[in-house]
Amino acid sequence: MTERNHRIAPLTQLTEDEQMLKDAAAEFADTIIRPKVHEMDEAAKLDPGLIKMFFEMGFMGIEIPEKYEGAGGTFFMGIVAIEQISRVDASVGVFMDVQNTLVNNAFLRWGSEEVNSRFLPQLATNKVGAYCLSEAGSGSDAFALKCNAKEDGDAYILNGTKLWITNAAEADIFLVFATIDPDLGYKGITGFIVERGMDGFSISKKENKLGIRASSTCELLLEDVRVPKENILGEVGKGYKVAIETLNEGRIGIGAQMIGIAQGAYDAALAYTQERKQFGRAVSEFQSVQFQLAQMATELEMARLLVYNSARIKEAGLPFLKEAAMAKYYSAEVAEKLSSMAIDLFGGYGYVKEYPVEKYYRDAKIGKIYEGTSNMQLQTIAKIILQG
């Protein structure tokens, strides 16, 4: 028998840089964000001062190289930061998530040097980005787009409506997907960089939501918006690749948001059961409560391992589609389940806004819906495993 002298590092073990960013994000969330959570949720609006601080902390350009004024970090560093921010407030977590895993990622992968030199320094330092794919008839059927782009000399003229756009109220840079020819199907889809202030572009209805209320979700109107050809991201007719491949990475970000929610709900429940006394002793001393806490801790760890594993695989340059779908699907299930269990453990107090767990429960629900519904994740997983 061969003696094994090597040690296997746990999947959750972080590098020094990853740990430093995690600690910084956790401290920022606990000291700066937490006091503002209730007020932002009630007002359904992010604190403008908080947005400025996110840029100052480098949280909005984690993967953007230093030559573009970004932090020069890694995808995994973004994931652990999103998790820590979402542990305190998922609204702020998704604000940061969309910027990093969707918008910045799309530029980094598909932008030319000229495009990236113009936009990445802005996204790293002071401009919020939004990712604009969804329409009224284009949800899970992501490429049934009606928003169209007609070539006109050195530009394209965009017309259409976009729905459910996260960060729309705060954004200045919008990655808008439109078709140059509906008859071409997905091969007509192109990514256009639309900037706030362009003639004919406006932000319309802001949705009044169940959860992640401080995160803006708005309708966009494009009426004869003239977008210069130098504002095309990637190639004309190849926008479907930009959209699909970016969303695959974005699902890991949503997984990080969901395990953050689950962690926040679990932490609150664990502390409360140790403080709350019934029948002369702490609630946590009852075996039935201990079993529930143990179940919560186990399922949270399972979800975290799936999210971290998919992020590590992606970062290694290996195929990660199945793992990302599994991470998003399961982490959303766990976030909803654990936040519900937390309310049960709080009893009547869990049902009122004075305590944090009812918000975790409201915030968790979106995990099964955006960036690919749970049914779409299951379809993806099934397709891959059946193909062997």
* Residue from 83, 170, 219, 371 carrying the catalytic annotation: 371
Tokens of 232: 């095309």
Strand partners, 178: 190
371 is catalytic: yes
Instruction: Count how many Cα atoms sit within 13 Å of the Cα of residue 33 in the half-sphere of its side chain.
Output: 26
Cα–Cα dist 332/364, whole Å: 7
Three-point CA angle 168, 22, 322, nearest 5°: 70
Question: What φ, ψ does residue 232 adopt, rounded to 5°?
Answer: -85, 130
Cα–Cα dist 83/23, whole Å: 11
**How is residue 197 annotated by DSSP?**
T
Cα–Cα dist 360/343, whole Å: 9
Cα–Cα dist 112/134, whole Å: 25
Give the amino acid at 225.
V
Cα–Cα dist 354/358, whole Å: 9
Three-class DSSP category at 209: coil
Question: What φ, ψ does residue 341 adopt, rounded to 5°?
Answer: -65, -35
Q: Please identify every residue annotated as catalytic.
A: 371
